[in-house]
Amino acid sequence: MDSIVVTGNGPLSGQIPIAGAKNACLTLMPATLLSDEPLTLTNAPRLSDIKTMTELLSSLGCEVSSLQDGQVLVMSSHDLDNHVADYDIVRKMRASNLVLGPMLARLGHAVVSLPGGCAIGARPMDLHIQGLEALGAEIELRDGYLHANAPNGLKGAKVSFGFASVGATENVLMAATLARGTTVLENAAREPEIVDLATCLRRMGAQIEGDGTGTITIQGVDRLGGATHPVVTDRIELGTYMLAPAICGGEVECLGGRIDLVGAFCEKLDEAGISVSETDKGLKVARKNGRIRSVNVTTEPFPGFPTDLQAQMMALMCTAEGISVLEEKIFENRFMHAPELTRMGAQIDVHGGTATVTGVERLKGAPVMATDLRASVSLLLAGLAAEGETVVSRVYHLDRGYEQVVRKFEGMGAKIERVSNR
């Protein structure tokens, strides 16, 4: 199994291209199931999660071609010959559940395995189910699979989400595009990935208004056509690389970066003493003089501070001056990086959903491992700032969400290497 070895060696500089968003691509790909005409996605990220979604769509009878080294995906769901999303694929990746809404809307039935437990919390699907049931679906749980049927087709309805779940909003939004009549989603998620999905669905002929706000209105249509759509920039990859010069010092330009994707995050960087400026090509990040100041962070649905940047922000806070409090409000059990950072000399106390970090002057390299994607990259960031060598194992998590991570950090001057069997 591969590891990544990183050695702290001072300030970073350079330009880093930011890829298309993993989480947008994982919901745009199942949108192909809504139409019998091809959907082409450009600016797709090259990640193992995208391969898993390709495998799942192919198992349903969808033809997926990966062009230009994986940056262009051409999908055709002309002949869907299977409506069962198998446990063996779904268990690898929770986003597999995003085939449920589109399959149900297109075929009138779908069988999708429940994703099962996840390292960062229970992550149930009750909100997805309630939303689809409001549109007239009948859903039963049998043998670990959700069996969904819409014998009379789906019918528009008002759906009020108890929590602004990203996945539930995406699943019900996709299903509603082909439902009869009008659907109103209240307390819908407002993430940029939802806006990207709605934009793509409109290109396919859907009638959607209000995406990016808490209320989305969908006027169902009889059929959707083909489209070509560029995947939005990955705001989590963007935020992660913005933290590299923040932690190590130096100045880095993140190509394709946009403030509107990372507004709440940039406010925290500013408070901490890091400057962010817009350029023609993206965002330039530089560490101002002196030590980083501690800041308090609470994760929230968009436009709040993203849970997917909490681990990386904690890595920054480990060497900040003073005490910072990080509150995790989206997922229970999302502080698994804390004990690993502690092995590098960080001072962190975790109580329930709150982590209190007392900044130390310098972290020290250590062998560490992570149990999820964002935790893994936070350990890489910490290693870049630490004295000596840090060996991060279980790097397959990183392959799920960060394309060419070693090459991108190397491009900024970091001392980093991927090794086998260490």
- Rule CB under 6 A: which residues touch ligand UD1? 23, 26, 94-95, 121-128, 163, 165-168, 193, 307-308, 330-331
Q: What is the DSSP letter of 121?
A: B
Contact 250, 409 (CB under 8 A): no
Cis peptide before 303 (omega within 30 of 0): yes
- Measured over all CA atoms, what is the biggest interatomic distance in the chain, rounded to whole angstroms? 65
State how far the Cα of 372 lies from the Cα of 299, in Å rounded to an integer: 17
Measured CA to CA in angstroms, residue 354 lies from 284, 327, 334, 337 at distances of 31, 5, 10, 13
Q: Which residue has the tokens 């789906």?
A: 154
Using the minimum distance from each CB to ligand UD1, give the nearer residue, 95 or 242.
Answer: 95
**Smallest separation (angstroms) from ligand UD1 to the CB of 220:** 23
Using the minimum distance from each CB to ligand UD1, give the nearer residue, 166 or 348.
Answer: 166
Q: Which residues are catalytic?
A: 118
C-alpha Rg value of the chain to the nearest Å: 21
In order, the DSSP letters of 246-289 are: HHH-EEEEEET--GGGSHHHHHHHHHHTEEEEE-SSEEEEEE-S
State how far the Cα of 318 lies from the Cα of 366, in Å rounded to an integer: 15
378 Cα distance to chain centroid: 15
**Smallest separation (angstroms) from ligand UD1 to the CB of 275:** 27
**Smallest separation (angstroms) from ligand UD1 to the CB of 124:** 5
**Smallest separation (angstroms) from ligand UD1 to the CB of 209:** 22
Of the candidates 293, 279, 285, the residue with the CA atom closest to the CA atom of residue 246: 285
Using the minimum distance from each CB to ligand UD1, give the nearer residue, 13 or 130.
Answer: 130
Measured CA to CA in angstroms, residue 310 lies from 16, 343, 397, 421 at distances of 21, 19, 16, 30
Using the minimum distance from each CB to ligand UD1, give the nearer residue, 115 or 245.
Answer: 115
**Smallest separation (angstroms) from ligand UD1 to the CB of 185:** 14
State how far the Cα of 152 lies from the Cα of 138, in Å rounded to an integer: 10
In order, the DSSP letters of 127-168 are: HHHHHHHHTT-EEEEETTEEEEE-TT--B--EEE-SS--HHH
Contact 337, 298 (CB under 8 A): no
**Smallest separation (angstroms) from ligand UD1 to the CB of 402:** 13
Question: Closest residue to ligand UD1, Cβ-based?
Answer: 167
Using the minimum distance from each CB to ligand UD1, give the nearer residue, 253 or 403.
Answer: 403
Using the minimum distance from each CB to ligand UD1, give the nearer residue, 126 or 140.
Answer: 126
Of the candidates 292, 381, 307, 309, the residue with the CA atom closest to the CA atom of residue 340: 381
Using the minimum distance from each CB to ligand UD1, give the nearer residue, 139 or 386.
Answer: 139
